[in-house]
Amino acid sequence: MTEAPKFSTDLTGQTALVTGTTSGLGRRFAEVLAACGANVAVAGRRVDRLEELADRLRNAGANVLTVPLDVTDTDALFTSVKRVQDELGPIQILVNNAGKPDAKLALRMDPKFVDEMVATNLTSLFHLASEVTRRLIEAELPGRIVNIASGAAYSAGIGTSWYAITKSAVVRMTEMLALEFARYDVNVNCIAPGAFESEMMDGMLERMGDITREFPRKRIGKPSQLDSTLLYLVSPDSDFVTGATIRVHDGQGAR
């Protein structure tokens, strides 16, 4: 008998932590995971937005925890992971979504800005992935970590150098952590989105005008167009997929 297709998006009983959930892609990621039954911890700096999102998800029947968090505060990262585990259970799904853009030439960046970019776009992802995995090893549970990079990791223009560099590092970090964590049944993968609707994109459009003129299909993506990619990577049935980066860019900057 031929085996039936095997793919489930049922995340009931699993706990997910999503960073950068106060707007854009992170907000949508939290909504999707909650809709699939996960207990969701929503993390970000703007507490009012976290509470608004949490209230809406709770009204839809989800179990949600708000986690005020500045990812550049290393101690707060570890404290937040402990809090989520204490209140919702071990984190089996981590979506490392928090990120910071740049719009400066390299020669005009001050050291503080450079360090903040690294802490936000790279170091925080490493700390969270490592701490979540340590706790999963202790609990003897499998896990799924999804890092959010960017199409800028592969193709970027002048004025986005440090952002592109940090996002390229996220891709490489994903590969190396996947190699190290595989023995513990923790998969580490990455999504590299192109231009999608978000507050970050709104700021870019204000500075640069209509960038879609250069795109093959003259459009910007909607966050919901990443749903299937996210669910593929966090599904219990994608256990053979680790160390991968999926580029979702509609042909923007493809080469």
The verdict on whether 163 is a catalytic residue reads yes
User: How many other β-carbons are positioned within 10 Å of the β-carbon of residue 201?
Assistant: 18
Query: Which tokens belong to 2?
Result: 């031929």
- What sign does the CA torsion over 195, 22, 71, 178 have? negative
Query: Which tokens belong to 46?
Result: 């703007």
- Alpha helices (H) in the chain, listed in sequence order: 24-35, 47-59, 74-88, 111-118, 124-139, 161-181, 199-208, 227-234
First-to-last alpha carbon distance for the chain, in angstroms, is: 43
User: How many other β-carbons are positioned within 10 Å of the β-carbon of residue 183?
Assistant: 8
Please identify every residue annotated as catalytic.
163
